[in-house]
Amino acid sequence: MIRLRRIALPQETATRLGEYTEKIAEQTTEKARKTKAKDLWGARRSVRPALLAALTEMAPGHARCMYCGDSQGTDIDHFDPKSRTPLRTFDWLNHLLACSFCNSNQKRSLFPLDGDGAPLLVDPTPRDPLDHLRLVLPLGEYKARTPQGQACIDVFGLNSRPVLVKGRVDAYATSRHSLELWRIATDKGQHDKAREIVQVSWNRPLVDVLVTMFHQSEHAAAEALFAGEDDVLALLRDPELREGFLNRA
């Protein structure tokens, strides 16, 4: 999971979402609001294309799931489930892009709360998941830094799905190679090739690995985190390379 920037919706879509929310709010009981929310969401054809387009633009990699970062994002997930808070069913700030496995098999309607009733899951649009999770790069596994991080590991199965763990290990190797290839291309003056390497690197699945590499290279314990990989750490700290990868826009 990585931090994502939420973009604005087209005004027509935002207005339509507000109208749906008003219809839900008109109901006089919580049960009626839940029923109305479910019915309206089932008939959301007028807003679904715009929502998916905006979420896809926000998504990591090339339209990847905002939770696992691996599979294609196909579903509009309600971060706070509509079965719990029906008034947020059409709240744009409550919509995230998820793959069908994360949405239907992992998260479902799970929404753990702490002892004070605050959500434990991390929404990656207002909060940085790296404040709550640490990826052990050589192992491809996440370690929890906070109870919120542990909730994400448990609910999304970040460590219990072998395809994710192995994928992150492979992504780490691929990302290391990309850094080396960028340096070679840049030193040869092949700047178009260098830009292509950057673009491809950010469009791959499991881009959380690349984000973590740059993040951990700035950590006070970076030498320990990259023990035995001095060349990789030197590349990650190279100002020219960082400019090329982190300011790719």
Answer whether 79's CB lies under 8 Å from 123's CB: yes
- Amino acid 30 reads E
Instruction: Classify residue 132: in a domain, yes or no.
Output: no
SS3 (DSSP) at 157:
coil
Instruction: Classify residue 40: in a domain, yes or no.
Output: yes
- Amino acid 204 reads R
Instruction: Classify residue 64: in a domain, yes or no.
Output: yes
Answer whether 73's CB lies under 8 Å from 64's CB: yes
Domain count, the chain: 2
Instruction: Classify residue 117: in a domain, yes or no.
Output: no
- The residue out of 107, 137, 152 marking a domain boundary is 107
In this predicted structure, what is the pLDDT of residue 249?
47
CA separation for the pair 86, 24 (Å, rounded): 7
Element (H, E) at 141: strand 141-144
pTM exceeds cut of 0.85: yes
- The residue out of 107, 138, 170 marking a domain boundary is 107
Co-location of 103 and 5 in the same domain:
yes
Identify the sign of the CA torsion 109, 111, 117, 118. Answer: negative
Co-location of 78 and 168 in the same domain:
no
Task: Report mean pLDDT in 10-residue bins for the chain, 249 residues.
Answer: 95 95 96 95 88 95 94 96 95 97 94 94 96 96 97 97 97 97 97 96 96 95 94 96 86
What burial letters (b/e) apply to 118-151, b meaning 16+ CB within 10 Å?
eebbbbbbeeebbebbbbebeebbbebeeebbbb
Q: In degrees, to the nearest 5, what angle opens at C-alpha 83 toward C-alphas 43 and 42?
A: 10
How large is the C-alpha radius of gyration of the chain?
20
Co-location of 180 and 90 in the same domain:
no
| β 133-136/141-144 pair status | antiparallel
Instruction: Classify residue 225: in a domain, yes or no.
Output: yes
In this predicted structure, what is the pLDDT of residue 219?
93
In this predicted structure, what is the pLDDT of residue 248?
66
Co-location of 1 and 82 in the same domain:
yes
Instruction: Classify residue 145: in a domain, yes or no.
Output: no
Instruction: Classify residue 29: in a domain, yes or no.
Output: yes
Co-location of 92 and 166 in the same domain:
no
Q: Give the other-Cβ count within 10 Å of 67's Cβ.
A: 29
In this predicted structure, what is the pLDDT of residue 44?
80
Domain range enclosing 208? 162-246
For the chain, give the number of residues. Answer: 249
Give, as one character, the DSSP assignment of residue 88: G
Instruction: Give start and end residues of each alpha helix (H) in the chain.
Output: 11-25, 30-42, 48-58, 100, 147-156, 162-187, 191-203, 208-217, 222-225, 230-236, 239-246
Co-location of 98 and 171 in the same domain:
no
In this predicted structure, what is the pLDDT of residue 184?
97
Co-location of 10 and 80 in the same domain:
yes
- CA separation (Å) from 20 to 6, 33, 48, 51, 110? 21, 11, 13, 14, 24
